[in-house]
Amino acid sequence: MTVKSASESMAHKVERQLRGDILTLVLQPGARISEQEIGERYGSSRQPGREALIALAKSRLVEILPQRGAVVARISVAKLMQAAFLRETIETAIVKAACNAFHFHARQRLDDCLKEQARAAEGGNRAEFRRYDDLFHKTLAEGAGLPMAWAVVEDLKAHIDRACCLSLHAPDTLSKLIDEHRAIVAAIDQRDEAAARAAMTTHLSELLHDLPRLEAEHPDLFE
């Protein structure tokens, strides 16, 4: 590996770790972050930290302030609403396609995801729950033969995930989300396009219904 490729690899690693900490609210909206602090946190030099900040600024997760460093962007309701609209458009199309043809092995992986989500919910492990939530939606896209669609959704989710993280602390939320996943799978098994699209819309609308409460409870985290 050349020096240049090693540096790029470290920058990518730092970006991924920093992004993860922002999306899970380990680094909260409004928190100031510097290249030096990033280096200390993730064990890198200043250059990978600088590149990570630039990349995350393009995703609107970080704001770079001239002469004042960088700050974790607050949650934008406007961006969240746009991202949610686009995500619903894509994922309802995914389940429609899944009703027409769905790969056998992907169908088995959906059951595995649901089992692991239930286990994480019982143990109160929200980080693990979210990991399998993402894997569930990714598997839907792959099973329907639309892996590129998930890549688009995954990028859009950056404006949704932090609010999702807040919502998971509400009582009974985890079990409700699992039931919604099961409804999506049942509709796909029955080849019922209308039911699958409706189940996905219901599932993705939960956060929007909860948004006013989240804003009221955490006004410092939102724009």
Q: Which residues pair with 32 in a beta bridge?
A: 71
Q: Do 50 and 87 share a domain, yes or no? A: no
Place 140 in a pLDDT band, splitting at 50, 70 and 90.
very high
Q: Is the pLDDT of residue 169 over 80?
A: no
Q: Which residues pair with 69 in a beta bridge?
A: 65
Q: Do 84 and 8 share a domain, yes or no? A: no
Q: Is the pLDDT of residue 101 over 90?
A: yes
Q: What is the 3-state secondary structure (H, E, C) of 81-120?
A: HHHHHHHHHHHHHHHHHHHHCCCHHHHHHHHHHHHHHHHH
Place 9 in a pLDDT band, splitting at 50, 70 and 90.
confident
φ/ψ of 61, rounded to 5, equals: -95, -20
Q: Do 33 and 117 share a domain, yes or no? A: no
Q: How many domains does the chain have?
A: 2
Cβ burial, residue 187 (10 Å; 0-12/13-18/19+): buried
Domain with residue 118: its CATH number is: 1.20.120.530
Task: Give the integer Cα–Cα distance in Å for 172 and 156.
Answer: 26
> Which whole number is the average pLDDT over 112-130?
94
pLDDT in tens, 188-212: 999 999 999 999 999 999 899 999 9
User: Domain end: 40, 72, 104, which one?
Assistant: 72
Neighbouring residues of 135: CB distance < 8 A, sequence distance ≥ 6: 109, 113
Task: Give the integer Cα–Cα distance in Å for 131 and 106.
Answer: 17
CA dihedral 180, 182, 186, 192 (to 10 degrees): 30
User: Domain end: 24, 51, 72, which one?
Assistant: 72
Q: What is the pTM assigned to this prediction?
A: 0.87
The range of the structural domain enclosing residue 130 comes to 77-221
Domain with residue 52: its CATH number is: 1.10.10.10
Q: Is the pLDDT of residue 12 over 90?
A: no
Q: Do 7 and 51 share a domain, yes or no? A: yes
Q: Do 64 and 128 share a domain, yes or no? A: no
Q: Do 98 and 200 share a domain, yes or no? A: yes
Q: Do 84 and 68 share a domain, yes or no? A: no
Q: Do 44 and 120 share a domain, yes or no? A: no
User: Domain end: 72, 93, 117, which one?
Assistant: 72
Q: Do 98 and 188 share a domain, yes or no? A: yes
Q: Do 65 and 82 share a domain, yes or no? A: no
Q: Is the pLDDT of residue 172 over 70?
A: yes
Q: What is the pLDDT of residue 217?
A: 94
Q: Is the pLDDT of residue 48 over 80?
A: yes
Q: Is the pLDDT of residue 1 over 90?
A: no
Q: Do 111 and 216 share a domain, yes or no? A: yes
Q: Do 19 and 106 share a domain, yes or no? A: no
Q: Which amino acid belongs to residue 176?
A: K
Please tell me the least confidently modeled range out of 90-94, 128-132, 164-168: 164-168
